[in-house]
């Protein structure tokens, strides 16, 4: 089922509470990635972390809201990464109580629209090798494996990640 949704820009400080609440609603994912529940640092990293080759203003921090305006997910996009004509999805997470309702797909459709509107050529992202349901989601949405990364440590966990790419 595809429900309507909107992606709305977030500001650090003003929207910190909303982001924390949404990470708590995606706690299972944070635990899978880091081995511990979300903390305030999870929120700080969401707003502040970016690769050294792009500026902070190239990152988009967005909240996904349903047709009633209720927050259902978070999106982070790095524009112009890794190459100038790429957008990289740093995070897409849907409230675990609202998964399987089509919000992930609809949020991705909006990201694709925005990226095409900005004349981008590719979307990229990394998915954890052990995150099998998310891998199924991305492959169904047309992403293909580009490479497996060397081991990467987050909190108490070490992961192999799959870098995926989709032409726009």
Residues that bind ligand COA (CB under 6 A): 26, 29, 92-94, 99-105, 125, 127, 131, 133-134, 136-137
Q: Distance from first CA to last CA of the chain, Å, rounded? A: 24
Q: How far is the CB of 81 from ligand COA (least distance, A)?
A: 16
Question: Closer CB to ligand COA, residue 6 or residue 101?
Answer: 101
- Residue 48 φ then ψ, to 5°: -105, -25
Q: How far is the CB of 135 from ligand COA (least distance, A)?
A: 8
- The residue at minimum Cβ distance from ligand COA is 104
Nearer to ligand COA, 16 or 131 (CB): 131
| Beta-carbon count within 10 A of 49 CB | 12
- Say how far apart CA 166 and CA 159 lie, in whole Å: 22
Nearer residue to ligand COA within complex by CB, 120 or 128: 128
Residue 92 vs 120, nearer CB to ligand COA: 92
Minimum distance from residue 47 beta carbon to ligand COA (Å): 18
Least distance from ligand COA to the Cβ atom of residue 15, Å: 19
DSSP string, 19-61: HHHHHHHTHHHHHHHHSS---HHHHHHHHH---TTS-GGGEEE
* Residue number with CB closer to ligand COA (83 or 130): 130
CA dist 73 and 58 (Å) reads: 20
| Minimum distance from residue 57 beta carbon to ligand COA (Å) | 24
């Amino acid at each position: 089922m595809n429900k309507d949704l909107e992606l709305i820009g977030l500001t650090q400080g003003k929207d910190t509470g909303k982001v924390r609440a949404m990470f708590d609603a995606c706690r299972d994912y944070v635990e899978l990635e880091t081995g511990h529940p979300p903390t305030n640092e999870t929120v700080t990293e969401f707003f502040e972390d970016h690769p050294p080759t792009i500026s902070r203003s190239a990152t988009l921090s967005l909240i996904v809201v349903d047709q009633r305006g209720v927050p259902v997910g978070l999106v982070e996009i790095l524009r112009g990464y890794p190459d100038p004509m790429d957008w990289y999805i740093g995070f897409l997470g849907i409230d675990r109580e609202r998964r399987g309702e089509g919000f992930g797909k609809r949020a991705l459709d909006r990201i694709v629209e925005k990226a095409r509107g900005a004349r981008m050529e590719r979307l990229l992202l990394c998915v954890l090798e052990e995150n099998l349901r998310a891998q199924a989601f991305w492959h169904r949405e047309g992403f293909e494996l580009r490479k497996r990364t060397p081991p990467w440590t987050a909190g108490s966990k070490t992961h192999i990640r799959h870098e995926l790419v989709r032409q726009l």
